[in-house]
Amino acid sequence: MTRFAADWLSLREGFDARARNADVVKAVAAAFKGLPSLIVADLACGTGATRRALGTHLPQPQHWRLYDNDLSLLARAETPPAPAGSSIRTRPVDLMHDLEATLDGGPDLIATSALLDLVSQEWLERLVTECAARNLPLYATLTYTGEVTLDPVDRLDASIIAAVNRHQTSDKGFGPALGGAAAAELVRSCKSVGFSVVEGGSDWVIGVEDREMQSAMLTQWSQTAQEIGGIDTQDIAGWFARRRALVARGVSTMRVGHRDVFARPATTR
């Protein structure tokens, strides 16, 4: 199982919030406009970033059901508290085994964020099939696409990112992961069950001033490239040092590809 530290989720939350595709958010907002109340199930909620990002675009009162298998993240997921009349309920769930339980009980919307690149083809199909069986719309955001642009370019960038993308397809607890193929597979699968799809890019744009985020990315990429093998350790260390020097000099930028999708059945509940 891959563990996600709360401080990493906190660091990425601002980049995620800026990256979320505005047209996709608009489509979600339009779909639920005027409803007297709303139940949203957030799968793999982490510390609750999706509620913080999407909540202001949806009608009140809202009842959020937050699911994750990490108790320490769930313990942080009720901030800020729900306004009067709305509610937040957190539940520890292993989505590999108990996905269906999270879709039952009458949610109006299934949300998930930064999860689907971690799951297998089989699990993705199961999610879409089970949503379709219940007529449930799905808002799936910040799925990593495998496209990374680093500027200025280093001679080892392409090899390192290729190694990272190979690592992305290893088992993260759901079977062999889709990695960079996940967003396209989600769209294909949703269309195959007759859902209409609104989709768009939600790339992280990481600027020269975002040194902490850039350092975190370089550390993660070096570690995953090392773990998956195929590149000499000294070469990885040299790449890491060169890229860190560019960050320190304030001349490094990064773009990390993601995609957002809102998929909905022809008729909703």
Ligand X SMILES: C[S@@+](CC[C@H](N)C(=O)[O-])C[C@H]1O[C@@H](n2cnc3c(N)ncnc32)[C@H](O)[C@@H]1O
Residues 99-138 that bind ligand X (CB under 6 A): 113-115
**258, 201 contact by CB (below 8 A):** yes
Which position among 4, 39, 89, 223 is part of the footprint of ligand X (CB under 6 A)? 4
C-beta contacts of 238-241 below 8 A and 24+ residues apart = 238/156, 239/154, 239/156, 239/157, 239/160
Q: Give 195-245 as a DSSP string.
A: -EEEEEE--EEE-TT-HHHHHHHHHHHHHHHHHH--S-HHHHHHHHHHHHH
Residue number, 70 or 199, with CB nearest to ligand X: 70
Q: Give the tokens for residue 54.
A: 């999407």
Query: 117, 219 in Cβ contact below 8 A?
Result: no
Angle CA 41–77–51, to nearest 5? 50
202 contributes a contact to ligand X by CB under 6 A: no
Distance CA 99, CA 169 (A): 21
Binding ligand X (rule: CB under 6 A), the pick from 6, 31, 82, 96 is 96
Asked if 244 and 217 touch (Cβ cutoff 8 Å), the reply is: no
Site size for ligand X (CB under 6 A): 20
d(CA 121, CA 134): 20
Q: Return the number of the residue (168 or 214) whose C-beta is nearest ligand X.
A: 168
Among residues 24, 45, 110, 236, which is the contact residue for ligand X, using CB under 6 A?
A: 45
Q: Which residue has the tokens 């909703």?
A: 268
Q: Which of 19, 70, 140, 252 binds ligand X (CB under 6 A)?
A: 70
Give the number of residues written for the chain: 269
Residue 14 Cβ vs ligand X, minimum distance, rounded to whole Å: 11
3-state secondary structure of 50: helix
Give least dist CB 99 to ligand X, A: 9
Closest CB to ligand X: residue number:
46
Interaction pattern, residues 10-39, with ligand X; x per rule: CB under 6 A:
------x-----------------------
**At closest approach, how far in Å is the CB of 97 from ligand X?**
8
Q: Which of residues 155-194 bind ligand X (CB under 6 A)?
A: 173
Interface residues toward ligand X, by CB under 6 A: 4, 9, 16, 44-46, 49-50, 68-70, 73, 93-96, 113-115, 173
